[in-house]
Amino acid sequence: MKKICFLFALLFLISPLFSLSKKFKYNDFSLTAFYKSELQPGDALFVRLVFECKNKKLIKSLGSTDKEKGNLALYRLLEQDTVAEKASTKSQFYEIERKATKKLIKSVLLTGAPLSTFAKAGDYVTKISFSAFGNEDSVELPLKIVEKEFVSETIPLNESNTAIKTNLSKERSDQIKRLNAILDTKDFAAVYETKAFAPPTPALRRTSFFGDRRLFAYSNGKSSTSLHYGIDYGIPTGNEVRSCGRGKVLMAENRISTGWSVCVEHLPGLYSLYYHMSELKVEVGQMVDKGDLLGLSGATGLATGPHLHWEVRLNMEAISPDFMLEDFSFSSEK
Ligand SMILES: [Zn+2]
């Protein structure tokens, strides 16, 4: 008996993602939700929903129209079972898999909501409202946000880097507007990558981390603060930079602040960015697979030396790229 208990305890301890599944049963169908119950600020709350209907009569009556839709919102529990304070924006589910026969309809939906790097630690509950097979309901998933410490750093900028950082030209503001317009787009048909990302370089040396609180000290004595949105890999010029996942190239251009840059779309609202390259190997509109060559590393744009800046954005917000290296969509769950 003792041995069995020990085994259970061990399985719990090595459970890599604190991932949970909850099954909700209804008369005609079931709903299973997979999610990570413990997150850090800067992570993302991804939820995988599996709707299954085995009622043949109902399936026959449905035809081929989409009957499953859901909305996800994250609420902070102020007190148990009382009105909750909204802590994150709503995020719409999209379908990533479907199996439909005369006997079974199985629809797999996914969505992700970014958690700010300033998210407060505490107990939260995710509320999912949906309508499926003629039923409307909502279910709640408890989760915890734990503390995370971020690095603070001061970066002295020389004259040319100060000029880039304080550049107020129309050209630079147009570049920023154009990229923001891409990142602000959610194409619900853009389901390209649902498995764990791969790092864009095998290099392990990191010179800056996600979420670093930065103070830029300008050459003119002034300064500004900002948050570091990605990971900086300290690699020499000319190293291969590869796509972290399958997707569509939506930007490949030389930008004033980020140099030769690439943006790849992976899922609705989910994008990866690669900055400061010396050379690009892709064009806008091109599909890339995970591991495909995007360009070569360099020191273009605002850079104090050769490095690769890798960034991931979800619904406009920068999230931890390391988080995406895990099975964020619970793709191993069937
Ligand atoms: Zn960077």
pLDDT tops 50 at residue 6: no
Tell me how far the alpha carbon of residue 37 lies from the centroid of ligand 1, in angstroms. Answer: 29
pLDDT score at 76? 58
Tell me how far the alpha carbon of residue 232 lies from the centroid of ligand 1, in angstroms. Answer: 5
SS3 59: helix
SS3 162: helix
Instruction: Give the tens place of pLDDT for each residue, 109-145.
Output: 999 999 989 888 888 888 888 888 777 888 888 889 9
Give the pLDDT band (50/70/90) at residue 13.
very low
Give the pLDDT band (50/70/90) at residue 67.
very low
Cβ-count burial 230-255 (b if 16+ within 10 Å, e if not): bbbbebebebbbbbbbbbbbbbbeeb
Tell me how far the alpha carbon of residue 30 lies from the centroid of ligand 1, in angstroms. Answer: 44
Tell me how far the alpha carbon of residue 45 lies from the centroid of ligand 1, in angstroms. Answer: 24
pLDDT tops 60 at residue 1: no
Give the pLDDT band (50/70/90) at residue 4.
very low
pLDDT tops 50 at residue 314: yes
Mean predicted lDDT score pLDDT of the chain: 87
Give the pLDDT band (50/70/90) at residue 70.
low
Tell me how far the alpha carbon of residue 208 lies from the centroid of ligand 1, in angstroms. Answer: 7
Per-residue pLDDT, averaged over 290-304, amounts to 96
Give the pLDDT band (50/70/90) at residue 3.
very low
Tell me how far the alpha carbon of residue 164 lies from the centroid of ligand 1, in angstroms. Answer: 14
pLDDT score at 11? 41
Instruction: Give the tens place of pLDDT for each residue, 240-282.
Output: 999 999 999 999 999 999 999 999 999 999 999 999 999 999 9
The token pair at 267 is 């899922």
SS3 281: coil
Tell me how far the alpha carbon of residue 309 lies from the centroid of ligand 1, in angstroms. Answer: 4
Q: Near ion ligand 1, which residues have CB within 5 Å? A: 232, 309
pLDDT score at 55? 83
* Separation CA 270–CA 264 (nearest Å): 9
Instruction: Give the tens place of pLDDT for each residue, 141-171.
Output: 888 999 999 999 899 999 998 998 888 899 9
SS3 153: strand
Domains within the chain, CATH numbers bracketed? 2-145 (2.60.40.1930), 152-325 (2.70.70.10)
pLDDT score at 187? 94
Contact, 141 vs 128, CB < 8 A? yes
Pairing between β-strand 293-296 and β-strand 279-280 as defined by DSSP bridges: antiparallel
pLDDT score at 75? 60
Tell me how far the alpha carbon of residue 330 lies from the centroid of ligand 1, in angstroms. Answer: 29
* Separation CA 112–CA 92 (nearest Å): 8
Give the pLDDT band (50/70/90) at residue 41.
very high
User: Cβ–Cβ contacts within 10 Å for residue 309, how many?
Assistant: 25
Tell me how far the alpha carbon of residue 311 lies from the centroid of ligand 1, in angstroms. Answer: 8
